[in-house]
Copies of this chain bind each other. A is one copy, B any other.
Amino acid sequence: MFKSVITAAGLLAIAVPAFADPLPSWNDTAAKARIIAFVEDVTDPGSADYVTPAERIATFDNDGTLWAEQPLYFQLIFAIDVIAAMAADDPSILTSDTLRAAAARDYKTVIAGGKPAIIEVMKLSHSGMPVGTFQARVADWLASATHPETGLRYDRMTYQPMVELLRYLRDEGFKTYIVSGGGIHFMRVFAEDAYGIPPEQVIGTYTETDYAVIDGIPTITKAPAIGFVDDKDGKPVNIERIIGRRPIIAGGNSDGDFAMLEWSTAGDGPRLGLIVHHTDGSREYAYDRDSHIGRLVDGLDRGPELGWLIVDMAQDWSRIYTGK
């Protein structure tokens, strides 16, 4: 056993320089040291905490954890852009104040309408078309739209330290998943390029879909009804349903991730819960308890006693965005 491990390490050395830093965009703080110590512990066949590769499941929220989410969820910006484009073609679709606000890109009014307004915007922009048509729209949007404050393409606003963490985990035999309140059909368009996460490892919210043969072509169409909201308790429920294993690493940034971290870290053996705390108002955004998006109260109040690692973006990360 020991000999074969040596041999495997020897082979790896051909591809990866010895002692290469797997997390170069993390400062040399306690957070980085703890992550690396955890990974080395669970992947060391000689450790009492050794975890077989099959059980090395790591799940991460997306919005605010793997990429930014301010001034509002990027998927909602996409939805509003879609409605603006639809309204330019046919203004009669604007049948409510919410939709008129969306077409005018008046984010504040849309958000002020709360969940019903967001659902109205999402339904109109995210249904009534085959999945493939929807995803082509997302791809077109990603290729052309830029963030109102950074000027970056949205898919370049991934957090480089987290992209490195995902890659490091995969290099160490982990299977990395997204488990997000964002939509599966939206995220799958960029998750593979942005994070190295394939479609079958993207778990999230979804609209209902219908299967039918339309004009002789078997087609799956997005329906104007939400099938599942992958947030709060929905996250452990969906992980259990789809993966069927309990993650040994779970990362998030808001109270929508609390149940996922709680359930993941309550399992037997070594577990790592990780909270990305948005503390960097100059390079990114500083928000937590009072934010309208990514609200974080329980994670700050109870995370430390549950042993979770609270990552301080300002202190722990030497770089923020992949694209900058």
Contact = CB atoms under 8 A, between A and B. Distances in A.
A298 to B, nearest CB: 12
B220 A237 contact: yes
A18 interface: no
A82 interface: no
Nearest to A239: B220
Interface in A176-226: 184, 188, 198-200, 202, 206, 209-213, 217-218, 220
A322 B109 CA distance: 63
A152 interface: no
A237 B263 contact: no
Interface string A222-247: 00000100000100110011111100
A244 B199 contact: yes
Contacts of A259: 211, 218
Interface string A17-40: 000000000000000000000000
Contacts of A212: 233
Given A237-B209, A241-B206, A242-B200, A220 B184 contact: no
A199 B247 CA distance: 13
A233 B211 contact: yes
A54 interface: yes
Interface in A56-100: none
A196 to B, nearest CB: 11
A204 to B, nearest CB: 10
Nearest to A236: B211
Given A218-B262, A218-B263, A263-B218, A200 B237 contact: no
Name which of A54, A211, A259 has the most chain B CB atoms within 10 A of its CB. A211
Given A202-B244, A209-B240, A211-B233, 4 more contacts: A184-B241, A217-B266, A218-B236, A220-B240
28 contacts: A175-B200, A184-B241, A184-B244, A188-B244, A199-B243, A199-B245, A200-B243, A200-B244, A200-B245, A202-B244, A209-B237, A209-B240, A210-B233, A210-B237, A211-B236, A211-B237, A211-B263, A212-B233, A218-B236, A218-B259, A218-B262, A218-B266, A220-B236, A220-B237, A220-B240, A220-B263, A227-B241, A242-B242
Interface of A: 54, 131, 175, 184, 188, 198-200, 202, 206, 209-213, 217-218, 220, 227, 233, 236-237, 240-245, 259, 262-263, 266
